[in-house]
Amino acid sequence: MSEPRSIELHGQSVTYHLAGEGPVVLLVHGITSSSQTWSSVFPLLAEHHTVLAPDLLGHGRSAKPRGDYSLGAYASGLRDLLLALDLSPATVVGHSLGGGVAMQFAYQFPDLIDRLVLVGSGGLGQEVNLLLRAATLPGAEVVLPLVNAPLVRLAGATAGFVLDRVGYQRGADMRGIAEGFVSLRDREARRAFIHTARSVMDPRGQRVDARDRLYLAAETPSLLVWGEDDAIIPVSHARSAHELMPGSRLEVFPDAGHFPFNVDPERFARVLSDFVATTAPAAPDTGRVQRLLQGRLRAGEQDPGPIVVLPG
């Protein structure tokens, strides 16, 4: 990846990577991850795009303040970063938690998004892996430092056995999960992780669900990318969301888990580049959205336009 850069937004340092030329692609990582999660595909995408990969607040090298770690706050932070760097609009690509952030971004700032890409995304159903749900339990702040130390040693056979038992794949998933556990050695990162987890989940699973609003995705070209064997967020979420998102595309990677871009980075970059090249950027139409919300137009229907009443 490119050398990290930093910018101060609202008194907080935000670290990001930026490279390439062409249509802007914003890569949004998942919980406990950082911009480094995209390291295998970043240079491939930068061959034909301007690629921006930030560390969300509370993650990576960015600041970890005692503040708001909701999806809306993350979306607003991305808006501020894009505007500060003069890089909007962008194709927004979100992985896991980042998918929830990307959907919230599209909802809040439709004029700043060209396309929406969801990769193993949260926010599309209740099911989520047990290890993430555990972070929402009372006392997680005390327990997490105790269990984190042995889990950091993911290269050992014992840790690999534990991850196998809860559904993770070795290899590509191991790489992504290892990064997350290593990040939690830092007390401030653990605090941000727990605040973030509790903003979108409870012990029963995900409690933020965008499915009731996916009909509005007709206004934005959308692509879903999933691993067939995703043990964190099941591929069934992708298939049901695809049916609810008019005109969306679905790409399922066989023999891949929660990090399909680590299994086959070339295919991931090819699929994403083709999606950008073959779709027109979103053209926000407030009037059409209003008619959808008012129930005067069904998702996927051709809009006849506003009703005009002639005098006389």
**Residues with catalytic annotation?**
96, 230, 258
The pair of three-digit structure tokens given for residue 190, joined into one six-digit string: 């653990």
Q: What whole-number distance in Å separates Cα of residue 14 and Cα of residue 60?
A: 9
3-class SS string, the chain: CCCCEEEEECCEEEEEEEECCCCEEEEECCCCCCHHHHCCCHHHHCCCCEEEEECCCCCCCCCCCCCCCCHHHHHHHHHHHHHHCCCCCEEEEEECHHHHHHHHHHHHCHHHEEEEEEECCCCCCCCCCHHHHHCCCCCHHHHHHHHHHHHHCCCCHHHHHHHHHCCCCCCHHHHHHHHHHHHCCCHHHHHHHHHHHHHHEECCEECCCCHHHHHHHHHCCEEEEEECCCCCCCHHHHHHHHHHCCCCEEEEECCCCCCHHHHCHHHHHHHHHHHHHHCCCCCCCHHHHHHHHCCCCCCCCCCCCCCCCCCC
Angle at 73 between CA 67 and CA 77, to 5 degrees: 105
Q: Which of 192, 234, 154, 148 is nearest to 55 (CA)?
A: 192
Distance CA 115, CA 103 (A): 11
Q: Is the CB of residue 121 less than 8 Å from the CB of residue 103?
A: yes
